[in-house]
């Protein structure tokens, strides 16, 4: 697996951080703790804690390079653990995809059943891509993807916007695919279009009752 950001939301975040750290050290032994944290998308203190844990477990060796600098190397045990974690990560990723694909299909079918033929997806994530795939097999069309953190003008062939207010034409519904703050995204969508027109997969753990109920 290539060096990349492997930090995900959910129960496998510890696995992802550890694997990401081992990949980062394997790719560049001269990385600083700050650059490791930046590459993994986590706080410096958290990167430091995971690094110390890996050193204590014998996965990473630290050498001091004067003046006051350090280099990091994977030990043979570290290489073995990296291979094991990679296999575990891929297995959990495939399991997540199968579960997500089934739920996204159900959401798209629910949109169609309620007559929502033109919808917008709120949030750019792995789920967004799966929703885009599922929509190709239905009459539901994705009018746009909305996420203020997504800089490009398009995502998977659909317009990418910074806010719901930027929509130039009305939509029938909103699908929540935001994985970092799903409840907040749902609440904003419900306030904007009405809870009855907001759809989301159950794996996001959204509490629809907080806004009088919503479709799934």
The DSSP bridge partners found for residue 62 are 72
Pick the closest to residue 105 from 129, 139, 134 (CA basis): 134
Q: Which pLDDT band, with edges at 50, 70 and 90, does 8 fall under?
A: very low
Query: What predicted TM-score, i.e. pTM, was given to this entire model?
Result: 0.65
C-alpha closest to that of 214 among 120, 144, 111: 111
Residue 31 banded pLDDT, cuts 50, 70, 90: confident
Looking at per-residue confidence, does 5 or 120 come out higher? 120
Does residue 124 register a pLDDT over 50? Answer: yes
User: In the structure, what pLDDT confidence band is assigned to residue 11 with cuts at 50, 70 and 90?
Assistant: very low
* pLDDT above 50 for 1: no
Interval 130-186: pLDDT, tens? 999 999 989 999 999 999 887 678 888 889 999 999 998 999 999 999 988 899 999
Burial class (CB in 10 A: 0-12, 13-18, 19+), 204: buried
Task: Report the mean per-residue pLDDT for the chain.
Answer: 86
d(C-alpha 24, C-alpha 18), whole Å: 10
63-77 average pLDDT score: 84
Q: Write phi, then psi, for 9 (nearest 5 degrees).
A: -85, 155
């Amino acid at each position: 697996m290539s060096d990349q950001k492997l930090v995900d939301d959910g129960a496998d975040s510890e696995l992802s951080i550890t694997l990401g750290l081992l990949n980062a050290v394997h790719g560049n032994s001269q990385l600083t703790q700050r650059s490791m944290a930046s590459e993994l998308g986590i706080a410096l203190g958290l990167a430091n804690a995971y690094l110390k844990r890996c050193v204590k477990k014998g996965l990473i060796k630290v050498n001091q390079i004067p003046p006051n600098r350090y280099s990091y190397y994977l030990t043979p045990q570290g290489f073995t653990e990296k291979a094991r974690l990679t296999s575990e990560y891929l297995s959990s990723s495939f399991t997540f995809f199968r579960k997500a694909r089934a739920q996204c299909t159900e959401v798209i079918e629910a949109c169609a059943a309620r007559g929502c033929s033109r919808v917008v997806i709120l949030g750019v994530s792995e789920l967004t891509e799966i929703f885009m795939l599922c929509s190709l097999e239905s009459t539901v069309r994705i009018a746009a993807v909305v996420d203020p953190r997504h800089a490009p003008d398009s995502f998977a062939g659909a317009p990418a916007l910074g806010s719901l207010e930027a929509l130039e034409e009305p939509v029938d519904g909103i699908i929540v695919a935001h994985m970092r703050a799903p409840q907040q995204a749902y609440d904003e969508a419900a306030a904007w279009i009405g809870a009855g027109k907001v759809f989301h997969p159950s794996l996001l753990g959204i509490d629809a009752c907080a806004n009088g109920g919503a479709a799934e």
